Amino acid sequence: MANRRGTKRTHARIARRYLARRLEILRAAGNQFRVAGFAETGMRDIAAAADLSPSNLYNYFQGKHELLFFCQDLTLDRLIAALEKARCLRASAGEKLRLVIVSHVRCVLDEVEGSAAHLLTSSLPPRLQRPLVAKRDRYEEGVRHLIAAGVRTGEFTPCDPALATRAILGALNWTVRWFNPGGTLTATEIAEGFADYLIRGLLTKPTSLRRSSRAREQQRPGQKLHSRIVRNLAAAARLSER
């Protein structure tokens, strides 16, 4: 029995190390995708960025598509986990939606550098796209239900929950296009600012939006942050029309 437990611990430790290395490679690949673009980045480029030989890299990923799938699948799992956590809270619809928005932005900007590649779903072959689209739809449906619940209770103004959800998720996903890790705003400040700005537009009583003391401390320069968000959303809208 003791040997069996020891074997399980050994396997678990090996699995953790393997996952940690894959995440390191993902971060390195994410940087390469940002700089050179997905199509122009080769496995040799990723291996060099990750300080691996090309042959060693193939022990972790068989190709760019597998790496990109891992990136998107991991990001979606984290988004869904945050959504489930929010749904289980004994809190208002606004507070639940705040947790989802903050978790979403921090996930795509902060937790895994390569998660910026989550917008490249169309670069994957159909067999890899299908499970990702299913998870994405599940996540979107969950956010839509949160908004619909807020409308039913009167906390949110009457609206089309599907349209509101797509507007919110579109704004959050676009942050990976303009976020600069060395810029004036941190990922946390952007996450909190987006939560304020987007949720306030849904509330029947905007003054009911409650925030933690820590969040208030982080977001004191709110007017500056909101004006930055407005400019970036406007820029995103102009680009999408081209």
Place 4 in a pLDDT band, splitting at 50, 70 and 90.
low
Sign of the alpha-carbon dihedral angle for 96, 102, 103, 108: positive
Residue 242, pLDDT above cutoff 50: no
Overall average pLDDT of the 166-172 stretch: 92
More confidently predicted of 221 and 83 = 83
For residue 116, what pLDDT is reported?
54
Contact 97, 199 (CB under 8 A): yes
- One-letter amino acid at 137 equals D
Residue 6: which pLDDT band, with cuts at 50, 70 and 90?
low
Task: For residue range 213-225, list pLDDT tens digits in order.
Answer: 344 444 444 444 5
Per-residue model confidence (pLDDT) at position 83: 96
What SS3 state is found at 202?
coil
Asked if residues 79 and 168 have their Cβ atoms less than 8 Å apart, the reply is no
- Residue 156's φ and ψ, nearest 5 degrees, are -100, 150
3-class DSSP state for residue 116? helix
pLDDT of residue 37: 76
Q: 88-121: per-residue pLDDT in tens?
A: 999 999 999 999 999 999 888 865 555 555 556 6
pLDDT, mean of residues 48-71: 88
